[in-house]
Chain A
Amino acid sequence: MERAESRAVISGAGRSRIGRRLGVDPWVLTADAALAAIADAGLTADDIDGVSTYPGAFWSTPGITGAGVDDVRGMLGLRLRWHTGGGEIAGQLGTVVNAVLAVAAGFATHVLCFRTVWESTAQQGFGGRAATLLDGGGADGRPVRFGRELTQWTTPFGIGYPCHAALDMRRRMELAGATREQFAQVALVSRRNAARNESAVYREPLSLETYLNARMISDPVCMYDCDVPVDGSVAFVVSRAEETPDPARAVTFEGLGSASGFDEAAAMMWARTDLKPADVDLAQVYDGFSVYAIRWLEALGFCGAYEGTDFVDGGTRITPGGELPLNTGGGQLSGGRMHGYGGLLEACLQLRGEAGAHQLDSDPQVAVVTSGAEQFTSSLLLGAPR
């Protein structure tokens, strides 16, 4: 049986403005990205017969979702044969995995995948950043909600998301000899990449000294270890391979991993391809916290478990021109929290040779993109247009 990966391509990609506190209706951002992606694919909205999004219209965290499936259906007048939107999928890019499955199964021909956030604007009305990271409650004396099973095991102890990343970092520092200087490289390389990417959000230089002296959030997680809430939307069109209007610009799927867990998702992806880690020309790994990027590098087999900090030590290996250019558009640390969609967009641009000022000189042919963390994870191995 032909693999699902061979039957689908990314035919188009698009984005809205992405930035801090844009104050723009998130439906406008969504329409901007969706229509750009559809046009980029050489299609019209009449061609779209599927929609796939994360996390759908409903989520407790302010601004974490800007539009749902039905919002887009209504706005763009879509006639849908297949659609899905939800939070419990294989990482945020599980949307794309789902779209590939729908296309491969014949349920849809052109699936619009999108992710819209407006956290940066929404948080202004919800008591600030802490509210978001505590999952919809806690700021300014508002009652903390326990709508999700997880929260009751953290809120009585005053635990926010970064505390989890801090536990991982601290254990590595005490038992595996990892240093803050090593974790810093993820942030510093991302910032240098962002400086060359005019669509990144934070582009001013960031020095090691500034990183080391930065405000601690949950020691050793500092401000620069955390990605940044933004407003914006990114969209893709996943098409049945033989129906893509412009195959010369279509990014291919070499392997997909939807398994639950960093290691499991990566292993599944590698099991579905003949390619090896050594074949990868660039990596866009999920960097909601810098230690997540380290976890993904290890899971993907670029180095062994607990060796990720040595792998990025000094930064040279992961810079453009290095052995494995990492988060070449600035990642989420400097490009904004687009939840994996930013990394996938960057990978598509690089593989199509359309990244402009920050295009890699190496003519990249294979990219790996990951999204999510902990138990909600996905891993995508992509190829340049054939």
Chain B
Amino acid sequence: MTEETSNGSALVVEAFERVAPPLTERTAAFWTSGADGVLRIARCHDCGRYLHPPRPTCPACRGRDVGFAPVSGRGTVWSWTLNRYGWVPSMPPPYVVADVELVEQPGLRLLTNVLDCPPEAMRVGLPVRVCFSKVGDAFIPLFRPEAGDGRGRPEAENLRGWPEAGDGAG
């Protein structure tokens, strides 16, 4: 499905083209971050808290000095689904949609896709690492299983919390 570039970077080439997100003053730094293979997440310089999606203010401390900071690109699958419906004409199903929690901060989650993992190997708690798919000027952050994953499921106390919100109109 994907192939790594010759230098082993995190850029993947997919057999289809994704829909490019609009690059705006608020979001461009996130969407273009993968150009050098590094994921960057909005971060409050006042309290150090990461926030996603990017916002110009910190919802925790209301700080106004929000920038973008590189993260490790490592995370775990918070939940996942094998989507079988063709929501976007250019993206043929099935594909795995996941909510990935980054290791940097509890609750710091990205809606994304997990590549290169058969559904029977998908599970909550699966360690994953970021990669990127380029469309237009954007580098879409996607995830693949960490090599040599052998860890078990998360502990029961990690049950708390809910998936990232849709808009309730469904």
* Contact residues, A190-224 vs B (CB, 8 A): 215-221
The reply to whether B169 and A175 form a contact with Cβ atoms under 8 Å apart is no
Query: Known contacts A167-B80, A171-B78; is A148 also within 8 Å of B138 by CB?
Result: no
Cross-chain contact B89 with A141 (CB below 8 angstroms): yes
Residues 75-127 (chain B) with a chain A CB within 8 angstroms: 78-89, 91, 93, 95, 97-99, 111-113, 119, 123-124
Q: How far is the CA of A349 from the CA of B140 in the complex (A)?
A: 50
> Once the chains bind, are A164 and B159 in contact (CB under 8 Å)?
no
Q: Is B70 an interface residue (CB 8 A)?
A: no
Task: Give the CA-CA distance A118 to B95 in the complex, in Å.
Answer: 31
Q: In whole angstroms, what is the CA distance A134 to B98 when docked? A: 17
Measured in the bound complex, the distance between the Cα atoms of B85 and A139 in whole Å is: 12
The residue among B91, B160, B168 with the most chain A CB atoms within 10 A of its own CB is B168
- Closest-CB distance, B128 to chain A (whole angstroms): 14
Q: A171 near B167 (CB under 8 angstroms)?
A: no
Q: A133-B170, A153-B111, A373-B170 are in contact. Are A171 and B163 (CB under 8 A)?
A: yes
CB pair A156–B20 under 8 Å, yes or no, is: yes
Which residues of the partner chain B approach A375 to less than 8 Å between Cβ atoms?
Answer: 165, 167-168
B142 neighbours in A (Cβ, 8 Å): 157
Contact flag A166-B97 (CB < 8 Å), given A134-B88, A156-B140, A158-B87: yes
A186, CB-defined interface residue at 8 Å: no
- Best-surrounded residue of B81, B98, B142, B164 (most CB of chain A within 10 A): B81
Which of B89, B142, B167 gathers the greatest number of chain A CB atoms within 10 Å?
Answer: B167
Contact A221 B153, beta carbon cutoff 8 Å: no
A22 CB–B CB distance under 8 Å = no
Closest to B89 in A: A141
- Are B80 and A306 in contact, with the CB atoms below 8 A? no
A251-297 residues with Cβ-Cβ distance < 8 A to B are 288-289
Complexed CA–CA distance, A345 and B98 (Å): 37
The 6 A-B pairs at the shortest CB distance, nearest first, are namely A166-B81, A161-B170, A374-B165, A376-B168, A171-B79, A167-B163
How many Å lie between the Cα of A176 and that of B97 in the bound state? 20
Say yes or no for B27: interface residue by CB 8 A criterion: yes
> 1/0 per residue B21-50: CB within 8 Å of A?
110000100000000000000000000000
22 pairs across A/B with beta carbons < 8 Å?
A: A61-B169, A91-B168, A133-B170, A138-B89, A156-B20, A156-B138, A158-B113, A164-B165, A164-B170, A165-B170, A167-B164, A169-B81, A171-B78, A217-B84, A219-B81, A219-B84, A289-B170, A305-B160, A306-B159, A373-B166, A375-B167, A377-B168
Q: Check A167–B81 contact: CB distance below 8 A.
A: yes
Cβ contact within 8 Å between B80 and A170: yes
